[in-house]
């Protein structure tokens, strides 16, 4: 059972961010943070500096560190030969040039993913050697395509190595925040657990511990519980919702044929458990989550939602009791995703949005715009 006091976890974060000695990977850094350092919200670079460079590239992660990120966030999927690579989804066409390579045309297939039939090129049909012939591209419309088809697809081990090297060069600890994507999907394909691959990689890096600069996240529950039974690494339960109703309430009813994981953990659905992600925002749900996790990562409207008028005007609602309930159960709160393009919460500037959520009590946040988040942390007065 996870039963660490929140103050202890917060102090650890301050220690992690203040330390910089990695000359001996077997030695845990122990500098004492100032109270201010221990209380600053963590800046988690969501898939790297993806507002500038293609997501999930070593160059994008390095840029995020340069901009001041505390943690870099790699999403993990598996290759045909069992390697963890860094992509947002097992589908490759949205973030790589795979569709442009004729020799891979016959690898396009249709698979069921979290209840939805998807036609694409899947990482599970490619060897690592084949993956290494692909190049990354910008996934978001409206963002620069200048660096498309220039950068390789990294492995998880390469991201760990980068974080350690950046820790040395930046003179501060750079953490990693890996998300295991669709583990149930992967585990039905392979004769091993995706979770074990993650644990093995962390063990090899000497980062398979509570004190390591690592958070492991997942939208499913059973994989986190399994990791908790095998490792003391810090864990975060992600939660989502399908939509925001006009009155600001959250809609967990996923239309037939869409991704079930938008409304509930897919492993819950497969096992017949009817609880949606709404459960995790309750007192009972927080108590449950605290039995295996150290934190909870909600979509932002779980904390601050908004009404939408018939004319499209936005009215922010008061903060919910989500953070209070989480902190009462020693759970850190790291909401996602802060993007300049999403104006619902921002008012005049992105800084306004960050400060709104900092005032509500979040402990960190996933951001596409690392520079904006770092600036907001530095200008925020608690």
* Alpha helices, DSSP H, located in the chain: 6-18, 35-39, 58-67, 128-131, 156-170, 183-187, 194-204, 222-230, 266-271, 283-289, 322-328, 350-360, 370-379
Average pLDDT, the chain: 91
**pLDDT at residue 243 is higher than 90:** yes
Catalytic site residue from 56, 88, 182, 334: 88
Better-predicted residue by pLDDT, 142 or 215: 215
Taking the C-alpha atoms of residue 133 and residue 101, their distance in angstroms, rounded to an integer, is 10
The owner of tokens 């501060």 is 172
What is the pLDDT averaged over residues 188-217?
98
Catalytic site residue from 46, 83, 186, 334: 46
**pLDDT at residue 38 is higher than 80:** no
**pLDDT at residue 347 is higher than 90:** no
Q: What are phi and psi of 59, to 5 degrees?
A: -65, -40
The owner of tokens 């004729």 is 102
**pLDDT band at 39; cut points 50, 70, 90:** confident
Q: With pLDDT > 70 as the criterion, what percentage of the chain qualifies?
A: 90
Better-predicted residue by pLDDT, 34 or 302: 302
pLDDT of res. 12? 52
**pLDDT at residue 8 is higher than 90:** no
Better-predicted residue by pLDDT, 11 or 132: 132
Lowest mean pLDDT, pick from 15-19, 192-196, 215-219: 15-19
Catalytic, 56? Answer no
pLDDT of res. 342? 87
CATH number for 6-81+153-379 (one of 3.40.50.300, 1.10.150.80, 3.20.20.190, 3.10.20.30): it is 3.20.20.190
**pLDDT band at 14; cut points 50, 70, 90:** low
**pLDDT at residue 37 is higher than 50:** no
Helix (H, G, I), strand (E, B) or coil at 49: coil
pLDDT of res. 179? 98
pLDDT of res. 19? 45
Strands across the sheet containing 332-333: 84-86, 75-78, 179-180, 215-218, 234-239, 295-298, 332-333
Lowest mean pLDDT, pick from 64-73, 90-99, 135-144: 135-144
Residue among 120, 124, 117 at smallest CA distance from 78? 124
Residue among 215, 226, 152 at smallest CA distance from 187? 226
Catalytic, 327? Answer no
pLDDT of res. 348? 77
């Amino acid at each position: 059972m996870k039963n660490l006091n929140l103050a202890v976890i917060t102090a650890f974060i301050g220690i992690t961010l203040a330390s910089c000695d990695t000359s001996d990977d077997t030695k845990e850094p122990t500098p004492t943070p100032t109270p201010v350092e221990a209380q600053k919200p963590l800046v988690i670079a969501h898939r790297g500096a993806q507002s500038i460079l293609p997501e999930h590239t070593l160059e994008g992660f390095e840029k995020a560190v340069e901009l001041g990120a505390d943690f870099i966030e790699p999403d993990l999927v598996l290759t045909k030969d069992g390697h963890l690579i860094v992509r947002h989804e097992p589908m490759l066409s949205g973030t790589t040039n795979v569709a442009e390579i004729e020799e891979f045309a016959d690898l396009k297939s249709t698979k069921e993913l979290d209840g939805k039939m998807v036609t694409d090129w899947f990482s599970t049909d490619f060897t690592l050697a084949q993956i290494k012939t692909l190049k990354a591209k910008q996934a978001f419309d409206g963002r620069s395509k200048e660096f498309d088809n220039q950068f390789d697809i990294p492995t998880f081990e390469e991201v760990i190595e980068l974080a350690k090297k950046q820790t040395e060069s930046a003179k501060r600890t750079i953490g990693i925040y890996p998300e295991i994507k669709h583990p149930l999907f992967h585990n039905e394909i392979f004769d091993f657990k995706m979770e074990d691959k993650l644990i093995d990689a962390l063990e090899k890096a000497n980062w398979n511990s509570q004190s390591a600069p690592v958070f492991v996240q997942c939208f499913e529950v059973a994989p986190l519980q399994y990791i908790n039974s095998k490792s003391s690494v810090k864990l975060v339960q992600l939660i989502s919702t399908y939509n925001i109703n006009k009155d600001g309430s959250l809609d967990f009813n996923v239309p037939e044929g869409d991704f079930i994981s938008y409304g509930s953990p897919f492993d819950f659905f497969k096992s017949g458990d009817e609880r949606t992600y709404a459960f995790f925002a309750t007192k009972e749900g927080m108590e449950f989550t605290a039995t295996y996790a150290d934190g909870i990562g909600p979509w932002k409207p779980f904390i601050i939602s908004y009404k939408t008028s018939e004319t499209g005007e936005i009215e922010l609602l008061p903060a919910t009791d989500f953070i209070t309930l989480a902190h009462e159960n020693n759970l850190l709160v790291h909401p996602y995703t802060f993007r300049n393009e999403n104006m619902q919460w921002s008012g005049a500037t992105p800084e306004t949005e960050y400060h709104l959520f900092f005032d509500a009590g979040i402990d960190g946040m996933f951001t596409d715009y690392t520079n904006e988040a770092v600036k907001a942390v530095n200008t925020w007065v608690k």
